[in-house]
Amino acid sequence: MASISSTEHTRRDFLYIATGAMGAVGAAAALVPLVAQMNPDASTIAAGAPIEVDLSPIAEGQVIKVFWRGKPIFINHRTKKQIEEAENVNLASLPDPQPDSARVKPKHANFQVLIGICTHLGCIPIAHQGPYDGYFCPCHGSVYDTSGRIRSGPAPLNLALPPYEFVSDTRIRIG
């Protein structure tokens, strides 16, 4: 008697478990398109394709702003003085230590390309402002130097670098 009922118990349980498991799988699968649809769609991704920028019209000392993937990109044609000030720095004194050489492409230190979004809460810093003649963020007072590194203020990190490369001496591709 006891052995028969326990076999039946197992068979019934297997059916319930199989049905329940399949239901769970179905529910999870149904969730996939609902979550995936919020990811960037194909046209948004295509619009974020790399852009090329001609550097020749940028005068020395001028900072221009272009947009890539909806983000402002600073292209700074730095003067010799600015490059010197950026390189001669005691790294240990920096809140986010990073040498200037790591923030430009080799042999192209005169053009610095940065993402112009303050690493604090996202405002666009103003160029040629602040005690270092670098960038100054008006929202909460973060101060960046001529290499876009954070010097004082609430921002935790240096201004970020976008992916880019020099396709020629006067032309870069961002992205």
Contact 136, 89 (CB under 8 A): no
Q: What is d(CA 35, CA 31) in angstroms, rounded to the nearest whole number?
A: 6
140 in catalytic set: yes
- Closer to other proteins by CB, 16 or 96: give it: 16
CB of 107 to other proteins, least distance (A): 29
- Closer to other proteins by CB, 1 or 27: give it: 27
Contact 155, 120 (CB under 8 A): yes
Task: Return the residues of window 41-100 that contact other proteins according to CB under 8 A.
Answer: 41-44, 46-47, 49
CB proximity list for 81: less than 8 A, separation 6 or greater: none
Nearest to 147 by CA among 65, 69, 63, 31: 63
Task: Identify any residues that bridge with 127 across adjacent strands, giving them in sequence order.
Answer: 135
CB of 73 to other proteins, least distance (A): 15
Specify the stretch interacting with other proteins by CB under 8 A; choose among 27-35, 86-94, 111-119, 134-142: 27-35
Site residues, other proteins (CB under 8 A)? 12, 15-16, 18-19, 22-23, 25-26, 29, 32-34, 36-39, 41-44, 46-47, 49
Catalytic residues: 140
